[in-house]
Structure 1
Amino acid sequence: MLSGEVDVSAAAQLRSVHGLLDRHGQRATVEAAGVTFVDVAGLRALLELASPAGSLLVVHPSAAVLRLLDLLRCSGLGPQELRAGPREEAVLLREPGVAAPPTPSTPGRPAAR
């Protein structure tokens, strides 16, 4: 669970978490309902927690997180956002330039693109 301000001062702590996850071969899922402020440096540090495939699941992103994602999307910057439901429930963030994993196909039907 992540709460409070996620900015450049939190980056070192997030890098420590990333190192711990790497050592144990784990992926991160971030619960972000308690985030009151996030800047680009904080988002960059969060994205460093992404899986080897380049994605990070953010559950219950706060208004501050969603606002920054909106600003970055409008400017053509920032991570790609994937979701299967309302973005207030969860977003899957993917670094720009990282290809999405292939969608499995149903026998007799081509894979979704």
Structure 2
Amino acid sequence: MDFVDGIRFDRLPPKLPSKEVTNSIEKALQILHDADFVFGDLRPLNVVVLRDATGTPTKAQLVNFEWCGKHQEGRYPLRMSRSFEWVPGMNWGGIMDKEHDSEMKKKLFSI
């Protein structure tokens, strides 16, 4: 396990994230989806934003791959947080789908 020195996505200043940050999240998801994997838990606490020496956000990294599974084969955990509003189709023990990541990304970018 590696230490990632950054800030949680939801702790960024209250403005839209930079294009570099959103692009790096999209690229990470694309790599997973191209390999037929679903990240599964794209909540702000699982996205760490890296900054340069001046503190400017430069890119993001996905962390906590415990839920990652194969598209249309993997299943979500039998227990998922009730305090978080999951996108439609994400259910306890439900089948994982790439579309869930895409919808969660939209939700993430609207914070």
The TM-score with structure 2 as length reference comes to: 0.30
Larger relative contact order, structure 1 or 2 (CA cutoff 8 Å, min sep 6): 2
Name the one with the larger strand percent.
1
Flag the structure with larger Rg: 1
